[in-house]
Chains A and B, each alone.
Chain A
Amino acid sequence: EVQLVESGGGLVQPGGSLRLSCAASGFTFNNYWMSWVRQAPGKGLEWVANIKQDGSEKYYVDSVKGRFTISRDNAKNSLYLRMNSLRAEDTAVYYCARSGSYFPDYFDYWGQGTLATVSS
């Protein structure tokens, strides 16, 4: 059974940092693109970033470029999102999601999400 379990969310002040983690199990982690998708309270889905199987390609939504870094550790079956210079508008539930093997244009498994709140 595919499982994705996020952790690392919490309350942080504007300008602060958080590191989100996603522990994957039930599939061959290094065969898939992986992604982060977020959802602000009461709002729709927003894709944040994705990373290729070997980490050689990474893509980000414009609003987080230069502030967020996606990474993965295939030996630990884990995905990460380092978030710096956090703003109030980054407040959201952050979902870890598995993308396709060949191209990261859809998400077939999602974690339960971790809430990051940016507030003073």
Chain B
Amino acid sequence: QSVLTQPPSVSAAPGQKVTISCSGSSSNIGNNYVSWYQQLPGTAPKLLIYENNKRPSGIPDRFSGSKSGTSATLGITGLQTGDEADYYCGTWDSSLSAVVFGGGTKLPVL
């Protein structure tokens, strides 16, 4: 069981918008920054969002992040077949003194 809760899968068609939720508690999301990662099949994870809503250089603005209370959301607009991947949220948990991840969300682009 992951400390952070994500839906196992979401789906959408090319060109559409999708959101992926990540739910935690006051010891993690509620008081710390959230990051999001994309893992394409057979590759290492890649940072998409850090500090709740910041995009690293090279990440298109189709990807966005937000946080409210003890939950966070990743938004992807203008879906492309190349966005088919697993997506993970992560944050620091102050009670555990540990980085924690969500269980991951699989996104097929149908």
Chain A contact residues, CB within 8 Å of chain B:
35, 37, 44-47, 50, 59-62, 95, 100, 103-113
B32 and A95 contacting across the interface, CB-CB below 8 Å: no
Size of interface on B: residues with Cβ below 8 Å to A: 27
Q: How far is the CA of A50 from the CA of B90 in the complex (A)?
A: 15
Q: In the complex where A44-B101, A45-B104, A95-B45 touch, is A105 in contact with B33 (Cβ < 8 A)?
A: yes
B103 and A44 contacting across the interface, CB-CB below 8 Å: yes
A-B pairs with beta carbons under 8 A, tally: 63
- The 6 closest A-B CB pairs, nearest first, are A106-B35, A47-B99, A105-B92, A110-B44, A44-B104, A106-B50
B44 and A47 contacting across the interface, CB-CB below 8 Å: no
B98 and A44 contacting across the interface, CB-CB below 8 Å: no
Q: How far is the CA of A106 from the CA of B51 in the complex (A)?
A: 8
Chain B residues positioned under 8 Å from A113 (CB to CB): 44
Instruction: Tell me whether B46 is interfacial, beta carbon within 8 Å.
Output: yes
Minimum CB–CB distance for B20 against chain A, Å: 14
Q: List 10 A-B contacts (CB under 8 A).
A: A35-B99, A45-B90, A47-B101, A95-B45, A103-B92, A105-B33, A105-B99, A107-B47, A110-B46, A113-B44
Find the residue from B33, B45, B50, B86 having the highest chain A CB count within 10 A. B45
Q: How far is the CA of A56 from the CA of B102 in the complex (A)?
A: 28
A61 and B33 contacting across the interface, CB-CB below 8 Å: no
Instruction: Identify the closest chain A residue to B97 (Cβ).
Output: A59
Chain B contact residues, CB within 8 Å of chain A:
2, 32-33, 35, 37, 39, 44-47, 50-51, 56, 86, 88, 90-92, 96-104
18 more contacts with CB within 8 A, not counting A47-B101, A50-B99, A105-B32, are A37-B45, A44-B86, A45-B90, A45-B101, A46-B101, A47-B100, A59-B97, A61-B98, A62-B98, A100-B50, A104-B99, A105-B33, A105-B90, A106-B33, A107-B37, A108-B56, A110-B46, A113-B44
Minimum CB–CB distance for B79 against chain A, Å: 22
Q: How far is the CA of A105 from the CA of B32 in the complex (A)?
A: 8
